[in-house]
Structure 1
Amino acid sequence: MSLVFLSACINGSGTQTHPSSTSQPTTLTSGIPLGEWNADGIIGENEYAHKLYLAGGKLVIYWRNDDTYLYMALMGQTTGWIAIGFEPSSAMKDADMVFGWVQDDQTVVIDAYSTGTYGPHPPDEKLGGNSDIVEYAGSEENGYTVIEFRRKLNTGDQYDKVFMPGQKIKFIFAMADADDFTTKHNIARGSGELTLDG
């Protein structure tokens, strides 16, 4: 059994459980030094400092940061796409979005930007920006998809939000059962907030 599946909260009897959504993130390390971060689609022990359960546990967001980069993993109960959008101004408008899925053993990650209140959200390159996901990987196993990615806190791209250590970041999230990010979210969607380490 892989660390990806184990990281979905296994209780002592071996039954998978998902705590209800909470706006309070769980700190994973509790003073234990973080392990090495790898873009391999596997959520390793001590790889991330924080995690947050959303949509009744259907989506778990993991993150860590240093002074230069944000490192993140999204683990969703789907074989379709999962996405996060940072700092929307209203509903989806102006959200700096990352979509990811695994299809035919290939991981696809798209750096996108929502131009309207309810989309569309074209890739940054179609708007004159750049894809600023420095490194990424994914996996799909036992009905779960994991997408890991790394990006600079400040990419210099007008279609990416600028983050600072210690910042509180509002986000939206969504999931669908299809490997096509133009398909409407039909599993879960919502919003939350996370805080970067200072």
Structure 2
Amino acid sequence: MKHLILFSLLFMISSTKKLETEGFVLEWTHYKHHIQVSISAPSTGWVAVGFTTESSIVNTNLIQGYVSDGEVFVQDQFVTDLGEHPPVEALAVAPRIFDISGGENKGSTTLNFSIYTKKVDNLHYELAEGNKINVWLAYSESDDFDHHSRKRILRQITL
């Protein structure tokens, strides 16, 4: 029995955490060096989740994406000012997202991606398990990233 408990502790997989609020569903699972994230919203336009330690949307690491004709488009962005959220590559930083997928179903869009947890630059945040962080959840009726959000809310979560 002791061996079974030890084996379980050594190979324990983090459980998935979930936030459901105002039509959004955010789920995340921690792994050794990354978090797997899923964000859904009641729209067939773009969907976004942003990570920040502040209450302002400025200085938020924004992951924004959409699905068009079954193809998923996602960008790792940084909010430099209201309405300004260039891809991090335009700010000379490498994207931190990978394993991107998603889909549309019954008027909702879901994006799935993984993001590294370690902070290595000034455009991303430390996403270690147990950290408290603010998340912006947003969606639009359009796939155009420059189209204003139809809904945008801020929540605090414990990773």
TM-score by length of 1: 0.70
In structure 2, relative to structure 1, the CA distance for the partners of 1:63 and 1:69 (3 Å cut) is: same
* Alpha carbons 1:92, 1:114 under 8 Å: kept: yes
Alignment partner, residue 109 of structure 2: 145
Distance in structure 1 (CA, Å) of the matches to 2:77 and 2:52: 13
Distance in structure 2 (CA, Å) of the matches to 1:194 and 1:157: 22
Distance in structure 2 (CA, Å) of the matches to 1:146 and 1:169: 21
Q: 1:70 aligns with which of 35, 39, 56?
A: 35
Q: Which structure: greater strand fraction?
A: 2
SS of residue paired to 2:152: strand
Alignment partner, residue 54 of structure 2: 89
* Alpha carbons 2:55, 2:134 under 8 Å: kept: no
Gaps of 5+ in 2: 1-11
In structure 2, relative to structure 1, the CA distance for the partners of 1:139 and 1:34 (3 Å cut) is: farther
Alignment partner, residue 5 of structure 2: none
SS of residue paired to 1:126: helix
Q: 1:98 aligns with which of 63, 71, 76?
A: 63
Paired AA for residue 123 in structure 1: P
Which digits, 9 at most, give the CA deviation of each residue in 1:43-96, with x for residues without a partner? xxxxx61111122xx211011112311111001111001101111534211001
Q: 1:183 aligns with which of 143, 147, 159?
A: 147
Gaps of 5+ in 1: 1-32, 36-47
Distance in structure 1 (CA, Å) of the matches to 2:70 and 2:117: 29
* Alpha carbons 2:29, 2:35 under 8 Å: kept: yes
Which digits, 9 at most, give the CA deviation of each residue in 1:86-136, with x for residues without a partner? 1153421100110011011110010000012x2301100111111221211
Distance in structure 1 (CA, Å) of the matches to 2:92 and 2:111: 25
Alignment partner, residue 16 of structure 1: none
SS of residue paired to 1:79: coil
Alignment partner, residue 90 of structure 2: 126
Alignment partner, residue 17 of structure 2: 50
